[in-house]
Structure 1
Amino acid sequence: MRWLCTCAFLIYIFHLATIAATTAVAPLPLKGAASPKAKAPLIPASAFLSTTHYMNSCPNLEAIIHRKVNAWVTRDPTLAASIIRLHFHDCAVRGCDASVLLNHLGSERRAEVSSTLRGFSLIDDIKAEVEKQCPKTVSCADILTAAARDATILVGGPFWEVPFGRKDGRISISKETDTVPHGRENITSLINFFEKLGLTFVDLVVLSGSHTIGRTSCYAIRDRIFNFNGTGKPDPSMNVFYVNSLKKQCKLSRNFVNLDVMTPRTFDVAYYRNLAKKLGILATDQLLYSDLRTGPLVNILAAQPEFFTSQFAVSMVKVGNANVLVGRNQGEIRLNCNYVNPLKI
């Protein structure tokens, strides 16, 4: 147990160091010491976000978002996982700019990989209320990011402060969603994908823990349970009894099954513990356990629930800061999350 705690602590410190390295601003040079050829360090866009961004312009924003998310998730508990997933899909393409919400021919939202995304109506509902109270002030990107936080809380996950100030993007291209992970990648490609977002392998493993809630379509796993790699047999890395259960549930590709077979509506570490029992439903889930780079962290998270929840909050802040648009010359504040603003607003 001491070994586990020590490893967890070292990984946590390493991760915090990574955050500091990506967000720190270099100190100002001493007077007279600046080199004429020296270039000023680039400040990440996320450094311009602030938890107090709407303190004066829309003081009731977080209360509005929380009330709306609570009402929708109370009616449909499965929506919590969908909002978290919608947020990730947004940040995975062009950064967290609400481009996934744009609803036009050829947009990310119309892509095949986005066909199972849900939660758009909830975001529209929040936006409509926010526009009544704070017109032309709050971006759809900020609303989606905060909604993902509140959805996490409602299923037992951690709280974290959401820094605000994102702008909404004007571009959304269906083809660009091809890069979004869909459950069949290897660990190397996943690590590379996360690095492009400014995230580490620690974030990959921790954020995969969101699969402790939610569902996946049977279409996404049919090859794994019926015809793995064209063998006509199930994936040998899966528990045999689990495979038989999934076959009964997945007689139709349009059916859905829980990502966490043990506690599908509770935000906990059962997801990680399932992997040790060969109960990972997506190939990428099970690979996290078997890969030498990520497996040790899976074991640590399975044994230390508090470490998981605290680190999940850290990783969610990082993903929410990925490639954000800020400032006057970037993006816009959409009046309707489904469409870019008319040219004259």
Structure 2
Amino acid sequence: MSEFEETKERARFMGDLKLTRRGVLSAGAAITVAAALSKPRAAGAEDLKFCASLGWTVWESGRHIVNGYKDAVSKLGGTLTIADANYDIKKQADQIAAFVASKPAAIFITPADAAAISPAVQAAVASGIPIFCGDSYVPNTTVTSTAMSNNFGLGAAGAEYIVKRLNGKGQVALVSLPSNESWDQRTLGAKSVFARFPDIKIASEIAFALGGTTTPRQVVDNILTANPDLEAIWCAWDGAASEGTLAIRASGKKVFITGIDGGRQSFEYIKAGSPFAMTMAQSFYEMAYMNAFYAHEVVAGRKAPRFVITPSYAVTQDSLKNLKDLPDNYDQPGEAIKLGWARAL
């Protein structure tokens, strides 16, 4: 893309922004990334070496994260080495140590288990290499910058949808994801909402272990069997909601399910009117892009914010019914606005 085309693209993006009160809240981080899109590559940027230790690359979230890092480094300059830990804590800790030894310009980390890899991240920070985290913060560390969603809010939003649909009364179940401290915040957010409604009863809560032998489908099968009066299931991530949808269909029960993450597969279920009724769609691409953008800023001697809260969108059948094609790039800056989606968090 030529410099003229980049400038034109930025102008088009900025023109698409509707700066209403909601639009202002949605636009802040997006404008920063838009600036990066039109920013010329810094002199010597092609010589920069970056490394990314990703806790996972599966699911749509993993694909969007990988694309965000790759696109940003391709655009802004440098080379990128990616390692996938596949939810293996020791493997990720070893990856981080190996990357530190290679002395890159910066290291990007999406934690599989943030608390468990904290010692490895502490050592990385102590090396003096700028460390950027995506999706989750790492406790007991002071990394250069973290780009993530409001996880407590994500969990609360799904619970609020359930409460509203049930008119404040009914039995619900939770499929939680406690292995990562940030992801566990979602469950705390959901419970904070359900606790305000005495006629909402949490009939079951299953703590799912990623990398174990039990699948989310089996978990939801068991929940449905043990709780015949269940009306809704809150899930901490879309993988459980998608597989849970299959379990609900097989059971023939009138139960609906919510998730957190977003992506084409989730949108397909939701648009079709399946039991998968709502997801809080995160901006995984933007998390990764913001990490890489601010890594370049820090290398250039400029500042990076300690935290960047990326946009999330409440997606239901109403959000998708008028769309000809299911969006795969909604989490790239400016795209959600074109869909008519307002930032929920």
User: TM-score, length-normalised on structure 2?
Assistant: 0.30
User: TM-score, length-normalised on structure 1?
Assistant: 0.30
Structure with the largest fraction of helix:
1
Structure with the largest fraction of strand:
2
- Kindly indicate whether structure 1 or structure 2 has the higher relative contact order, using CA contacts under 8 Å at least 6 residues apart: 1
